[in-house]
Structure 1
Amino acid sequence: MLANIVTFDYKNKTMLLAYIAKEMHNDQTYTYTYGYYIDKIANYLEKVGFKTFDPIKLGDYFISRKIFTKKSNEISFAHSCFYYFFLARRMQDDRDFYNDVVNPNNFYKYDRVIDYYSGLTRKDDHLLAILYQEFKKYFEPAKPIYDEIDADDFFTNITSQKNKFIPLVEKMDMNKVVANKPNETIVEKHIQEVSNERLSRITDEINNITYLTPDQFIVIMSRLLRNLDGTESVQLKTEIYSEIIKNTMIFTIAIKNKLATYANSHQGQLPPCYDKVKNVELFFRFMPYAVQTSLYEFMGTTKLCQVFENKLKNDFREGKSDIEKFFSIGLLWDTNNLANTKMMKTFIKSVGKNSARDYITFKLYYNYMYKVKSGSAEEDEYLSLLSSLKSKRYPLSLIKQNMINSDLKKIKKEREENKR
């Protein structure tokens, strides 16, 4: 304890780095000349009365520890995450800066700072209350979209011809699914490719956000709900999560409608930035699936499973659309899959003949192919769920499901024997 009094300890270093990050923010720059950088350190030491410490030694120490990089005569944080992390630490010690960040007119400019800050503090009822109120207010004008649109029909019957919708699972050959399950080498290669693709999307840039967009606000609230896990009200968490899903649906419907309008006036083509989309109808149909997968990146934690489950139970009770229910069952499954088998079975039993059935089919199929070990009890669970989905089209669905499962056991046995 005495050593902390006579040395420039970890806490002192952290406060100094937070001070430098805040100074850079005030100066609207992310790069200082070396001399100006040392002057900032000297200014801080003077403010706190630390006359015995050498600003040059401290400045060079931070560079040697790779917190800052020095290129020629210019100094900057080595990574943008360092800059945002230390701004978040400054929020903890500087009430004026905190108030500036949470100001309803400014908060969106600090989305990454808020992300780090909420992850550090884990509980801030004041911040949560302010942003939640702003979130509701922001989407209030678009609420009629949620009230008036039948999401199940909107994301199922894409074209005006209203072709009869046939769920993917009805065309799925379960015997081939089992027989063609990839081996561990292929699975490992696929997982590595997915991991590399995600890493390639990570940028090291400083955000310069000038206005708030709906998707940005949804991400901010999703991260906030995930990070502030110390909030002592499951009811409030469920309420906020429900608002996130409702507003996510509003945003998804609005984007789909805007893109469809464009496509209708451009011979069925989407804007140039969507040039990789080959099947426009399928793209529209699976938009909620893609959005749910994105939400998992921001809210994927077992600490929210009770919240997801609460919302799903409310959806069943209130007769919400299958698309809306899918967001919660999808997050539950992505977060803790087979631990939520009971809820999944309830969803499968109730889901209508719409795109939500395709979403859950694809999610179960993908996990079965790439996340479940062959010959395991988990494989049997997944096959049982897929076969129950497939048998929904038959009047005596349970009898049909048992027939499918019996055939699958034979195929599995043959597959394992062929491996030997």
Structure 2
Amino acid sequence: MIYLDFSLIELHTIEKIIDIELKDFNIEKQNIKCIILDSWILTGKNAIKILNKICELYTDIPLVVMQTIEDSQFFGSSNIESINREFEILHLLALPRGHVRKVVSEYNKKRHIGDENDVIIKVTDDLDVLNIHRTPLNCLTLLKVAENFFDKSPINRTVMLENIMTILFNMEEIPNYKIRPDLKDCTYVLGYFSEKMIRNENYIFTRDYFLKELKQFCSDQLMDIEVEVVFDVLFVNNIIIKRNGSYCFRFSYWLYFFAANRMHHDDNFLKYIFTDKRYVSFPEIIEFYTGIDRRREDALIIFINDMKEICDIVNLKVGLPIEMNPYKFIKWNPTPESLEKVKNDISEKVLNSNLPDSVKDHYADKYYDYSKPYNQTIHSILQEYSLVVLMQSIKASSRALRNSDFVKPEIRRELLSEIFKGWEQMSRVLIALTPLLALNGRAAFDGAAFCLYGNFGDTIEKKINSIIQNVPFNVIQWYKNDLFSHKIGPLLFNQIKNETNELKKHEMINLLIYERPRNWELYVQNYIGAISKNSFYLYDILQTLKIEYRYGFISPKIKFDISYLIKMCLAKHEIGGVIPSKTIINKVPDSVLPERSIDSD
């Protein structure tokens, strides 16, 4: 087998390089069984000609071409019509969870980090939040960092990236005659460079431009840094990559990380990001900014005011009444009459709202296909209501709060209250869109789109009922990973104690079940005791508990707690009252528990 690196060969040197390979391994030309051409790029110099020449020279030998493609081109068509050989095209995709488990398991055996399930959850969550591929290399990088800095809580990713930088800038590959750059100095100058890119909205640069800008900045700041070494370290470790003759950050989180550090050092850039809610385009910057010292009180105060403003705008202009709550009509076993009340409640509230007439017409006559006009109308609605801004503001505010352990409690309480108000507003908008989702299977518009995935029933009525019941679940899934860490438990408990809104409190309790901070089960027990035995809320809590019991990666202690709560829900439904006694709960047979079925993939 012959290995060729596309980046190291020229059109006129192909045969010479292959001859050298044959000589090095003492192989005759006729004994070549396969040729691998690595790092081949369609836009590279003479790419097609080089590939065609190899095909012509070795027509009967299998050829494996490892093509590097940009993320933006992944879903495009391959330009292979001018290649003189027919290839079978395969894509190297992200590792499924089961394969991530294999990587973690083997690594954990050699260098124990923690409980295998905890490590897997941590690695996959970090890969997801950083928006990087599930490759073995990325998994190993995070595992390397976790050797000395493992924390199963999602915070603090700012520290995690600092640890990655520490590893990279202390690697042995830096030549001895070069001055090893100081990590904090590098972060500082790269923050300046990131600021320029964000302000100019230009994220592509040349090596010469990079060196020129940083040398000038270092000169102005009276700093002595070998910026060539900085560039080389970033490039060798794929933090920056070459693309169409220029360079860019391989993953956007590096840009956000350096920009967040720049915000910490430069008040003008800090004001720039927070002015006109620019941060809604960069919630990751906010996460990294607040994670630097976890006491960015200035950011939280801005988020409190902005969340109040955007929620009020959406609520005022949509005009749905505050008391709108179809869940009070839904029962454990809903009757046709209760379902009719749900539909009537939604229709009445929407028709009396401030929504444009074009949307109200859809509710009044749902059986006509208004998909095209609806898309146009929603486009104008969402620009007017700033729904996308609300969605991004919830994300940014949640990440900021999660990283702000050292901010005054009263400020954190107020921001958490505004975040859950945002959750409620999103739930109300989805409830209002329910008939359209039931009719069309989607509600699509510029900036945001909602669609049905899965079986919601075979009639409009069944779909409406199913969609409404799944609204809280979806809102929680969208935002729980942005908000939650186990350190936020006391703050969340405090909010639950003081919450009077039924829907918001229900979503908080569901969040507890999914994330399970210390003493979570006590608050769920109290909630079960407080709600009606035939209510939607009790039924929905039971379903959440069953899902976690069946699919969750849970310890024996958590498994027991969830099974106890499942039986408590069923006992409450049968006998009513407040909290059923332990004697009654223990009489509920284990046969009511779902079968454990953990999907490792």
**Corresponding residue SS for 2:546:** helix
Q: CA shift at 1:55, angstroms?
A: 4.0
Pick aligned residue for 2:513 from 333, 339, 342? 333
In structure 2, relative to structure 1, the CA distance for the partners of 1:104 and 1:160 (3 Å cut) is: farther
In structure 2, relative to structure 1, the CA distance for the partners of 1:98 and 1:404 (3 Å cut) is: closer
- 1:113 equivalent in alignment to 2:285: yes
In structure 2, relative to structure 1, the CA distance for the partners of 1:155 and 1:37 (3 Å cut) is: farther
The aligned runs of 1:309-324 (5 Å cut-off) are 309-315=493-499, 318=500, 320-321=501-502, 323-324=503-504
In structure 2, relative to structure 1, the CA distance for the partners of 1:408 and 1:372 (3 Å cut) is: farther
Paired residue for 1:218? 394
- In 2, are the aligned partners of 1:289 and 1:359 still within 8 Å (CA)? no
**Corresponding residue SS for 1:75:** strand
- 1:134 equivalent in alignment to 2:306: yes
- In 1, are the aligned partners of 2:330 and 2:338 still within 8 Å (CA)? no
Q: CA shift at 1:10, angstroms?
A: 1.5
TM-score for both structures, normalised by structure 1: 0.73
Paired residue for 1:356? 537
C-alpha distance after superposition, 1:244-299 (max 9, x if no partner): 21231122112220232x257x4x75447625343123122111122123332111
Bigger mean CA offset, 294-303 vs 76-85: 294-303
**Corresponding residue SS for 1:30:** coil
Paired residue for 2:246? 74
Distance 2:513 2:523 in 1: 9
Query: Which letter maps to 2:508?
Result: S
Distance 1:123 1:117 in 2: 10
Distance 1:146 1:333 in 2: 30
Unaligned ranges ≥5, structure 1: 1-5, 166-208, 416-420
- In 2, are the aligned partners of 1:238 and 1:307 still within 8 Å (CA)? yes
State the aligned residue count.
Answer: 354
- In 2, are the aligned partners of 1:16 and 1:41 still within 8 Å (CA)? yes
**Corresponding residue SS for 1:286:** helix
Query: Which letter maps to 1:238?
Result: R
In structure 2, relative to structure 1, the CA distance for the partners of 1:58 and 1:292 (3 Å cut) is: closer
Pick aligned residue for 2:216 from 43, 57, 62? 43
- In 1, are the aligned partners of 2:542 and 2:566 still within 8 Å (CA)? yes
- In 2, are the aligned partners of 1:309 and 1:332 still within 8 Å (CA)? no
The aligned runs of 1:270-309 (5 Å cut-off) are 270-271=442-443, 274-279=451-456, 280=463, 281-309=465-493
Query: Which letter maps to 1:408?
Result: P
Paired residue for 1:22? 195
C-alpha distance after superposition, 1:174-209 (max 9, x if no partner): xxxxxxxxxxxxxxxxxxxxxxxxxxxxxxxxxxx9
Distance 1:275 1:370 in 2: 22
Paired residue for 2:107? none
**Corresponding residue SS for 1:162:** helix
TM-score for both structures, normalised by structure 2: 0.53
Distance 1:55 1:395 in 2: 73
**Corresponding residue SS for 2:406:** coil
In structure 2, relative to structure 1, the CA distance for the partners of 1:403 and 1:307 (3 Å cut) is: closer
Distance 1:81 1:286 in 2: 32
Q: CA shift at 1:240, angstroms?
A: 1.9
Paired residue for 1:243? 418
- In 1, are the aligned partners of 2:300 and 2:412 still within 8 Å (CA)? no
- 1:228 equivalent in alignment to 2:404: yes
In structure 2, relative to structure 1, the CA distance for the partners of 1:337 and 1:387 (3 Å cut) is: farther
In structure 2, relative to structure 1, the CA distance for the partners of 1:327 and 1:407 (3 Å cut) is: closer
**Corresponding residue SS for 2:242:** strand
Query: Which letter maps to 2:466?
Result: L
- In 1, are the aligned partners of 2:394 and 2:422 still within 8 Å (CA)? yes
Identify the structure with bigger relative contact order (alpha carbons < 8 Å, sequence gap 6+).
Answer: 1
Q: CA shift at 1:130, angstroms?
A: 1.8
Bigger mean CA offset, 88-97 vs 139-148: 139-148
Paired residue for 1:84? 256
Distance 2:406 2:247 in 1: 37
- In 2, are the aligned partners of 1:372 and 1:379 still within 8 Å (CA)? no
In structure 2, relative to structure 1, the CA distance for the partners of 1:156 and 1:96 (3 Å cut) is: farther
Paired residue for 2:567? 387
The aligned runs of 1:65-214 (5 Å cut-off) are 65-71=237-243, 73-141=245-313, 142=315, 145=320, 147-150=322-325, 152-153=327-328, 161-163=337-339, 212-214=388-390
In structure 2, relative to structure 1, the CA distance for the partners of 1:50 and 1:258 (3 Å cut) is: same
Paired residue for 1:191? none
- In 1, are the aligned partners of 2:329 and 2:339 still within 8 Å (CA)? no
Query: Which letter maps to 1:86?
Result: F
Paired residue for 1:347? 527
C-alpha distance after superposition, 1:352-403 (max 9, x if no partner): 23322232112211222233769x4544432221122112233477889746
Unaligned ranges ≥5, structure 2: 1-178, 342-382, 445-449, 457-462, 597-601
**Corresponding residue SS for 1:31:** coil
**Corresponding residue SS for 1:69:** strand
Distance 1:83 1:329 in 2: 36
Query: Which letter maps to 1:37?
Result: F
**Corresponding residue SS for 2:247:** strand
Query: Which letter maps to 1:153?
Result: K
Bigger mean CA offset, 236-245 vs 150-159: 150-159
- In 1, are the aligned partners of 2:241 and 2:250 still within 8 Å (CA)? yes
Query: Which letter maps to 1:259?
Result: T
Bigger mean CA offset, 281-290 vs 55-64: 55-64
**Corresponding residue SS for 2:292:** helix
C-alpha distance after superposition, 1:39-72 (max 9, x if no partner): 2222223222346x55434432332243322346
Q: CA shift at 1:229, angstroms?
A: 1.7
Distance 1:14 1:27 in 2: 20
Bigger mean CA offset, 251-260 vs 330-339: 330-339
Distance 2:217 2:265 in 1: 14
**Corresponding residue SS for 1:213:** helix
Query: Which letter maps to 2:274?
Result: V
Query: Which letter maps to 1:276?
Result: Y
Bigger mean CA offset, 110-119 vs 60-69: 60-69
**Corresponding residue SS for 2:338:** coil
Bigger mean CA offset, 330-339 vs 113-122: 330-339
